[in-house]
């Protein structure tokens, strides 16, 4: 579609903002914008303010770094959960995916990303120091590394392993039941649940010569 | 994905607003919202205000009802165009599609929808009265009905035809036939039948391919 003939600059601006979202092209953006244009002004205000409010007021749990409305998130403040097991994940989507399996009753540590030289994300950009401090502080028996089975995920796993293996803590990874190259968020719940139940010692996952 | 375990009410609100857009599910909405969360606050403000500003400041051309920044749109105010031919379309997307063909030099009349009892859209909700007034006012030689080839489109075509056929004006519809590049054997019977009934002189298919 020729973008030169939008009949309105305001429309063009809105379309280009929507087309900046991942997976949204110009045509889809036009469809979404026209849909919103048909709504009542109050609905458009609600839509518009929902994302701005989220951005302005969003807080992160001071314990696990997950997105939260309160200082400490529901999972970290839940005394029924096992606070001796810590599951290390990349982001909030992975927390939600694992919670949906109902196979895990420990707590989480959200890294906020994975080590990816291509994207310019180094260990310093992630919540790894706080993870180290948490483990150094004692009281944690097991750290479950639940990152995507990609090269970046494995790199991050190994980096964290090297930081933590001096502490008296068991370091495990989720079972490689998940196909190599798959993103965690797209795994089905049964596979993902099984992979947490069958987590293996991190050492065994690279010592046995098979690699990943 | 279970929607009950979003870790934040603000996040849930933003996700449900995005998931209200056509073709956007909960998972895509989460992805879009998390993408926006990663952007700078100034970018999120720009995104948020672009759609609100569009809704608040949008104007419609007083002549053709198309979206416009000015009182009369660029097409209607273009004196090089043929103001004696009026192309009736459903919405702005159709204006853009036809403009992109560069085969039409007349002007438009945007209905703002089509008659659809299922969606509760009646003739009164559309810009049909102003079309009638425009044709009654004289100076228009041809009205080209360019609506979708659906039942709703045909109903609207017929309704408009009945309103306009008392005036001395030629009423035409865009040709229904086999799409360029389509195999004959895959065309549906109604389309194929119509394309035979409405066959055109072979010469005209290449002599005046410019159409109108």
Domain boundaries, chain B: 3-57, 79-174
Residue that is written with structure tokens 């030099």 in the block: B105
Answer with the residue of higher pLDDT: A70 or B122.
B122
| Average pLDDT rounded to a whole number, residues B169-195 | 80
Contact B54 A33 (CB under 8 A): yes
Report whether pLDDT(B211) > 60. Answer: no
Report whether pLDDT(B182) > 80. Answer: no
> Which among B96, B26, B171, B101 is positioned nearest to A4, based on CA atoms?
B96
Question: Does the reported pTM lie above 0.90?
Answer: no
| Structure tokens belonging to residue A208 | 């046995």
| Average pLDDT rounded to a whole number, residues B164-168 | 90
| Average pLDDT rounded to a whole number, residues B35-43 | 89
Q: Which residues of A touch B78 (CB under 8 A)?
A: none
In CATH, what class is B79-174? alpha beta
Using CB atoms, which residue from B7, B9, B93 is nearest to A92?
A: B7
Give, for B136, the enclosing helix (H) or strand (E): helix B129-136
Answer with the residue of higher pLDDT: B12 or B183.
B12
> What local confidence, expressed as pLDDT, does residue A71 receive?
85
Regions in chain A scoring below 70 on pLDDT: 1-4, 176-180, 203-212
Question: What's the gap in Å between the CA of A5 and the closest CA on chain B?
Answer: 7
Nearest residue of chain A to residue B70 (CA atoms): A8
> What local confidence, expressed as pLDDT, does residue A2 receive?
45
Report whether pLDDT(B212) > 70. Answer: no
> Which among A52, A51, A71 is positioned nearest to A60, based on CA atoms?
A71
Q: Which residues of B touch A56 (CB under 8 A)?
A: 41
Contact B30, B3 (CB under 8 A): no
Contact A55 B44 (CB under 8 A): yes
The answer to whether residue A37 neighbours chain B at the CB level (below 8 Å) is: yes
Percent above pLDDT 90 for chain B: 40
Which among A15, A19, A55 is the top mutation candidate for probing chain B, defined by the most B β-carbons within 10 Å of its own β-carbon? A55
The answer to whether residue A95 neighbours chain B at the CB level (below 8 Å) is: yes
CATH architecture of A79-207: 3-Layer(aba) Sandwich (3.40)
Q: Which residues of B touch A97 (CB under 8 A)?
A: 1
d(CA A51, CA A55): 6
pLDDT, one tens digit per residue, over B85-117 is: 999 999 888 898 888 888 888 999 999 989 998
* Mean pLDDT (chain B, rounded): 85
> What local confidence, expressed as pLDDT, does residue A177 receive?
64
> What local confidence, expressed as pLDDT, does residue A204 receive?
65
Question: What's the gap in Å between the CA of A149 and the closest CA on chain B?
Answer: 20
Question: What's the gap in Å between the CA of A196 and the closest CA on chain B?
Answer: 18
The answer to whether residue B169 neighbours chain A at the CB level (below 8 Å) is: no
Report whether pLDDT(B4) > 60. Answer: no
CATH architecture of A3-57: Orthogonal Bundle (1.10)
Strand B170-173 and strand B142-145: the pairing is parallel
Q: Which residues of B touch A73 (CB under 8 A)?
A: 7
DSSP codes of every residue in B172-202: EEPPPSPPTT--GGGS-HHHHHHHHHT---H
> Which among A183, A12, A14 is positioned nearest to A91, based on CA atoms?
A183
d(CA A183, CA A203): 23
Contact A171, A201 (CB under 8 A): yes
Which among A29, A48, A94, A183 is the top mutation candidate for probing chain B, defined by the most B β-carbons within 10 Å of its own β-carbon? A48
> What local confidence, expressed as pLDDT, does residue A180 receive?
61
| Structure tokens belonging to residue B50 | 């672009």
Contact A198, A178 (CB under 8 A): no
The answer to whether residue A7 neighbours chain B at the CB level (below 8 Å) is: yes
Q: What are the φ and ψ backbone dihedral angles of A86, each rounded to 5 degrees? A: -120, 120
- The CA-atom distances, in angstroms, between A20 and each of A36, A47, B29, B96 are 17, 17, 14, 21
Report whether pLDDT(B187) > 90. Answer: no
Nearest residue of chain A to residue B21 (CA atoms): A32
Burial code (b: 16+ CB inside 10 Å, e: under 16) for B5-30 equals ebbbebbbbbbebbbebeebeeebbb
> What local confidence, expressed as pLDDT, does residue B2 receive?
45
d(CA A73, CA A96): 13
């Amino acid at each position: 579609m020729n973008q030169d003939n939008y009949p309105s600059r305001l429309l063009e601006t809105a379309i280009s903002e929507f087309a900046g979202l991942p997976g949204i092209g110009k045509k889809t953006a036009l469809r979404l914008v026209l849909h919103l244009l048909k709504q009542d002004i109050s609905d458009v205000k609600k839509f518009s303010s929902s994302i701005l409010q989220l951005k302005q007021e969003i807080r992160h749990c001071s314990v696990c770094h997950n997105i939260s409305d309160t200082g400490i998130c529901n999972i970290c403040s839940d005394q029924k959960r096992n606070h001796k097991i810590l599951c290390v994940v990349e982001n909030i989507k992975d927390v939600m995916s694992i919670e949906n399996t109902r196979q895990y009753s420990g707590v989480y540590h959200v890294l906020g990303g994975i080590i990816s030289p291509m994207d310019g994300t180094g260990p310093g950009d992630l919540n790894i120091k706080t993870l180290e401090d948490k483990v150094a502080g004692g009281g944690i028996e097991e750290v479950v590394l639940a990152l995507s089975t990609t090269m970046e995920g494995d790199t991050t796993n190994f980096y964290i392993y090297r930081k933590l293996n001096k502490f008296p803590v068991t370091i495990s990874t989720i079972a490689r039941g998940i196909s190599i190259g798959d993103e965690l968020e797209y795994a089905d719940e049964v596979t993902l649940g099984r992979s947490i139940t069958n987590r293996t010692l991190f050492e065994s996952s690279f010592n046995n010569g098979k690699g990943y």
